[in-house]
A and B are shown apart, each in its own frame.
Chain A
Amino acid sequence: MTATETPFEPRIVAFCCRHCAYAAADLAGTSRLAYPPALKIVELPCTGRVDVLELLRTFEDGVDGLLVAGCLPGRCHYLAGNLHARQRVDYARRWLEDIGLEGERLRMINLSAAMGAQFAELATEMAETIKDLGPSPLGTRQTAGQGLSIGSTPLPGEAVHDHGDGR
């Protein structure tokens, strides 16, 4: 590495259920446990809200890794949202591999609200995995100060719209 190059800091998005992983991330923060700085948390009412379309669009927007973090099996507030999420994550991973991206860039984890330390640990582990894989070949590295924008892509159902590579 030359002196001017900055080390690769993986950009990871975590879709977190508000009942467990979001609170666990909060707990990790208040407990002053370190987790990867470039992790962006998106709060969801339940991981059952996660859809394959959003998972793929997030990768299209250039993230290096994506975590879906839901409640422990059997503990979903809506009974089976976390189980639906796991099936969709598995399905989306197959898409990623067909597209030519590593499936390991997408991962589902299960936590309770009390598991702040585990959240920090799993997020760090994910960052290590992504560091080994390297940056997403779809990402355009951003200059300092620019945040990662998620959800910039229009939602489906709108009139004809173009997502050419020129974004």
Chain B
Amino acid sequence: MIVAKQKPLSELTAMLDGYRNVLAVGCGTCVTVCFAGGVKEVGILASALRMARRLDGEPMSVAETTVQRQCEAEYIAPLAEGLDEFDAVLSLGCGVGVQTLAERFPGKRVLPALDTAFMGLPTEQGVWEERCQGCGHCVLDITGGICPVSRCAKQLMNGPCGGSQGGMCEVDTDTPCAWQLIWERLAGQGLADRLLEIQPPRDWSTSRDGGPRRIVRDDLRLPPAEDV
């Protein structure tokens, strides 16, 4: 899932300076399960913003709503009705949700309430960790299901650096060394010898360096209008 966290209230009050009637829009999917932008978090943030602005002597009305999925046009379409009365939309979706709203309602100020952090999972209640960087060429088959791109600080592909100590990473001693985990996993499966195969330098062109990435599935596209 996409993991995000709320921006500090002071940053949001500065961002909303001058606005008097705001619609806070949550998302019922990823950011609900990481407790950053679901129905309840929308309620808490909206209440906090209303109180903060009343105390500043600049009262602001904050209406609340949450859509099931903010990153698809169909789910946000119903917001069009009644949107005119608001002078800004505060999105509690991830960055994709914010941009989907901004694209769908280009005349409206759409502002982000969250900092989108990473793709990850909850490791215990209240703790989330990164697991995937969307590098565009998955290597989890080689590395025993443990991602060295997101979990090794140096994104090494052929075993640990010299700083791996006692199972922990030298960059952050609270973080397990990804390569220690990979070794243990494959050794446990009797496959440690597979790590002797040298991985060539990675082709990062599938990753972030070439601007926004795009996937096209011709089988799913709508047939050209003239053929219909």
Task: Please report A residues at the B interface, Cβ cutoff 8 Å.
Answer: 51-53, 56-57, 59-60, 95, 98-101, 137-138, 156-157, 159-166
Q: Which residues of A contact B164 (CB under 8 A)?
A: none
Which bucket holds chain B's interface residue count?
20 to 34
Asked if B43 and A156 sit within 8 Å, CB to CB, the answer is: yes
Contact between B48 and A160, CB atoms less than 8 A apart: no
The answer to whether A98 touches B9 (Cβ under 8 A) is yes
| Min CB–CB distance B37 → chain A (angstroms) | 13
Chain A's closest residue to B63 (CB) is A162
* B51-A56 in contact (CB<8A): yes
B47 at interface, CB cutoff 8 A = yes
Tell me what chain A mostly uses at the interface: helix, strand, loop, or mixed: loop
**Shortest Cβ distance from A95 into B: residue:** B48
User: Would you call B62 an interface residue if the criterion is a C-beta within 8 Å of the partner chain's C-beta atoms?
Assistant: yes
If A159-B65, A165-B61 touch, whether A51 touches B40 (CB-CB below 8 Å) is yes
- Chain B, range 13-68, C-beta contacts under 8 Å to A: 21, 23, 39-40, 42-44, 46-48, 50-52, 54-56, 59-66
Cβ of B46 and Cβ of A163 under 8 Å apart? yes
Are B62 and A163 interface neighbours, CB within 8 A? yes
Is B8 part of the contact surface with A, judged by Cβ < 8 Å? yes
Q: Could you pull out 29 A-B pairs where Cβ atoms are within 8 angstroms?
A: A53-B40, A56-B48, A57-B43, A57-B47, A59-B51, A95-B9, A95-B44, A95-B48, A98-B10, A100-B55, A100-B56, A101-B55, A137-B54, A138-B51, A156-B42, A156-B43, A156-B64, A157-B66, A159-B65, A161-B64, A162-B63, A163-B46, A163-B63, A163-B64, A164-B21, A164-B50, A164-B59, A164-B62, A165-B59
